[in-house]
């Protein structure tokens, strides 16, 4: 009886058919599941006479293999039918969606970060919505300091008690990240702080209400202005070419003393003078200086033991110098025609 049943099932499974995944799953449950036909035969196999066990066992294995192969074949047929290959247009381009490109600001930002990381600087980050304490107060801006007027700030929330250190604002420079690093780390500190900043300025071809900065900070024992000059010279020559010259002009920043602005020799005219450098042969690219001892003390670092330097540059400014983009607004208008011009830049 069991051999006859096996033969019947062999004929059934060899002729199985299905048109979709649901029907195939139903066949699998009928024949191969724990409650299926083949498992029922395995239960009945226990009662088979000893002299027939070998023959019956081989037949059951043959049935199971045949059922498995047939169901797998049905799965493959259904998968091909569901793939929509019959509707495939072989005349279409293999890449119907154009690949995007990196934004020019991202290209330059990554290049600058790479240069300083190879000098030993590590990345540091902080919030864009900040408090006055970290943006101004710990950067040596007193509550009534006229230097606060240098930056027209976007305030999110102003303290009801008049305590300016509790005002909430959009950071106007990434120096706030330096303050947070100095609060939580002891020297030696060597970080760069890239990020977006905000200032309440009229949007023109030369200015915007938001832009991107990268600031650097190095604090250790016996750090000098010579160390700062050498790092900036190496950076300028790495970014603009080995023939690049630099000059440092005295300037003022509340958080550095002495302070300077750094110019590079115009890489367009080679320092001979052109319209881009206003015929001076020099182009200003960043501000820098030695960290004011007051800043170190406000952030919990002993200024009698440690000294340091800091610098900051605008990514848009450097991108303009490298690619001669005349209008800053192009960086934020998402015009794909403009962005396609930088396909070969990365």
For residue 316, CA distances in Å to 2, 57, 144, 196 come to: 84, 79, 31, 11
Cα-based angle 88, 90, 94 (whole degrees, multiple of 5)? 100
Residue-wise pLDDT tens digits, 303-322: 999 999 999 999 998 998 88
Token couple for 56: 């019956």
Mean pLDDT, each 10-residue run in order, the chain (346 residues): 82 85 86 84 80 82 87 80 61 69 91 96 95 92 72 83 85 94 94 94 85 96 96 94 93 94 86 79 93 95 96 92 85 85 71
Helix pair angle (104-118, 315-323), 10° resolution: 110
C-alpha 12/C-alpha 9 separation (Å) is 5
Residue-wise pLDDT tens digits, 244-261: 999 999 999 999 999 999
Nearest to 168 by CA among 146, 213, 135: 135
């Amino acid at each position: 009886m069991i051999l006859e049943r096996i033969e019947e099932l062999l004929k059934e499974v060899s002729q199985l058919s299905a048109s979709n995944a649901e029907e195939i799953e139903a066949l699998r449950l009928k024949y191969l599941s724990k409650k299926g036909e083949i498992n029922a035969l395995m239960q009945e196999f226990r009662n088979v006479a000893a002299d027939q066990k070998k023959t019956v066992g081989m037949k059951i294995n043959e049935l199971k293999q045949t059922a498995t192969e047939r169901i797998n074949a049905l799965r493959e047929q259904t998968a091909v039918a569901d793939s929509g290959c019959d509707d495939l247009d072989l005349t279409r381009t293999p890449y119907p969606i154009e690949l995007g490109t990196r934004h020019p600001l991202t290209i330059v930002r990554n290049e600058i970060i790479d240069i300083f990381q190879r000098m030993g600087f590590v990345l540091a980050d902080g919030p864009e919505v900040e408090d006055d304490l970290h943006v101004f107060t710990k950067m040596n801006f007193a509550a009534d300091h006229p230097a606060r007027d240098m930056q027209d700030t976007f305030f999110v929330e102003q303290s009801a008690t008049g305590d300016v250190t509790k005002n909430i604002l959009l950071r106007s420079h990434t120096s706030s990240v330096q303050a947070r690093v100095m609060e939580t780390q002891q020297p030696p500190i060597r970080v760069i702080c890239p990020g977006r900043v905000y200032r309440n300025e009229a949007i023109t071809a030369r200015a915007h209400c938001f832009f991107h900065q990268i600031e650097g900070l190095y604090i250790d024992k016996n750090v000098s202005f010579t160390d700062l000059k050498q790092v900036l010279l190496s950076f300028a020559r790495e970014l603009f070419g080995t023939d690049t010259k630099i000059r440092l002009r005295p300037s003022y920043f509340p958080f550095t003393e002495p302070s300077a602005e750094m110019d590079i020799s115009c890489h367009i005219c080679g320092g001979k003078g052109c319209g881009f450098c206003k015929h001076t042969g020099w182009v200003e690219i960043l501000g820098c200086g030695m960290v004011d001892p007051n800043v170190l003390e406000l952030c919990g670092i002993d200024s009698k033991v440690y000294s340091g330097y800091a610098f900051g540059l605008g990514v848009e400014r450097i991108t303009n110098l490298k690619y001669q983009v005349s209008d800053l607004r192009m960086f934020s208008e998402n015009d794909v025609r403009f962005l396609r011009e930088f396909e070969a830049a990365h």
